[in-house]
Structure 1
Amino acid sequence: MATEAIVAMESNFLVPNGTFFVELFAFAIMVWLLAKFVIPPINKAMTARQEAIRQQFADLDQAKSEAHEAEEEFRSQIADARHEAARIREEAREQGAAIIAEMREQAQAEAQRIVEHAHTQIEADRKAAVTSLRNEVGTLATTLAGRIVGEALDDEARQSRVVDRFLADLDSKSGAN
């Protein structure tokens, strides 16, 4: 029975044996080594990685806000450029209208000058024609009067009086009609 008690003691699984303590001691050393040398660098790397991700998100948010500001500034500049272009077009239209009006006035003044010059030229031509016609009519009248009267009217003074009387008669007849 004593051997049975010893065998029963050895087979009792609730009582730890020596290998259990060695395995427990080796496990504790492994946990301590992992906790001392392996886990801190892993934690440090994970913390650094999380901080880098947070920084990237912060940079992304900042870049996004800067992009929105740049977009708003761009839109503002485009709107200003459109307003400026519209203003320049309006000024060009006004200047074009002013130039057209000025050219029209110059053309009208030139046309008026040409018409006045033409009237002056016509009046001078008419006077020259009247003078030439008077001389020719006077010559014809004195020749005709000389034939009718039967004597030559070579005297200049007499010729001039006859021509003037004849033309005055013509003027009075044409004025009466």
Structure 2
Amino acid sequence: MSITGTLIVQMIVFLILVWFTMKFVWPPITAALDERAKKIAEGLSAADKAKLALADADKKVVAALSSAKDDAAKRLADAERLAQQLVEDAKSRASEEGAKIVAAAKAEAEQESVKAREALREQVAVLAVKGAEQILKREVNAGVHAELLTRLKTEL
């Protein structure tokens, strides 16, 4: 065989190999590559969607955090206002109770003063009778002179 014949046979074998590859090998490879490209495109699309969802979730978290801070501030202000109101109520109740205690103490002091004056009048009346008894050198009858002693008590 000559070189030309070998070249023609190699060319025929090469063409058969190209035809076989194009008919049986190439379609599954292109299908696999297309499927792979499709999966990659879907993955990229899903990644973009996930980025958007993450950005949306971040916005929602920021909004929820802001809302929670506002709510906490409102609750804190309400609690402080309630505490202030309780303190004011306690002060007013304490003032009222103090006023009652002072009034009761004044009333009790007045009663004690009246009792002390009455006891002092009694003692002065007794001392006056004893003094008059010593002056007159005789005993004065308290039953007989009750009116005189009553007048003396009221004058004192």
Match of 2:133 in 1: 146
How far did residue 74 of structure 1 move? 0.8
List aligned pairs for 1:105-144, cutoff 5 A: 105-144=92-131
Q: Does 1:22 align with 2:9?
A: yes
Match of 2:68 in 1: 81
Shift in alpha-carbon separation, 1:99–1:166, aligned structure 2, 3 A: closer
Give the TM-score taking structure 2 as reference length: 0.90
Match of 1:103 in 2: 90
Match of 1:46 in 2: 33
Q: Does 1:94 align with 2:81?
A: yes
How far did residue 92 of structure 1 move? 0.4
Q: Is the 8 A contact 1:142 1:153 kept in 2?
A: yes
Q: Which runs of 5+ in 1 are unaligned?
A: 1-10, 171-177
How far did residue 39 of structure 1 move? 1.3
CA deviation profile, 1:111-131 (whole Å, cap 9, x unmatched) = 011011101111111111111
Match of 2:20 in 1: 33
Work out the CA distance in 2 between the residues paired with 1:120 and 1:32: 128
Match of 1:58 in 2: 45
Q: Is the 8 A contact 2:121 2:153 kept in 1?
A: no
Amino acid at match of 1:71: D
Give the TM-score taking structure 1 as reference length: 0.80
How far did residue 155 of structure 1 move? 3.6
When Rg is computed on C-alpha atoms for both structures, the one with the higher figure is 1
Work out the CA distance in 1 between the residues paired with 2:38 and 2:44: 10
CA deviation profile, 1:47-69 (whole Å, cap 9, x unmatched) = 11111111111000000110111
Amino acid at match of 2:36: R
Amino acid at match of 2:121: R
Q: CA RMSD in A?
A: 2.0
Larger relative contact order (CA 8 Å, sep ≥ 6): 2
Shift in alpha-carbon separation, 1:167–1:148, aligned structure 2, 3 A: farther
Q: Is the 8 A contact 2:133 2:140 kept in 1?
A: yes
Q: Share of identical aligned residues, percent?
A: 26
User: Segments of 4+ in structure 1 off by > 6 A?
Assistant: none
How far did residue 146 of structure 1 move? 1.5
How far did residue 154 of structure 1 move? 1.4
Amino acid at match of 1:33: F
Q: Secondary structure at the match of 1:107?
A: helix
Q: Which runs of 5+ in 2 are unaligned?
A: none
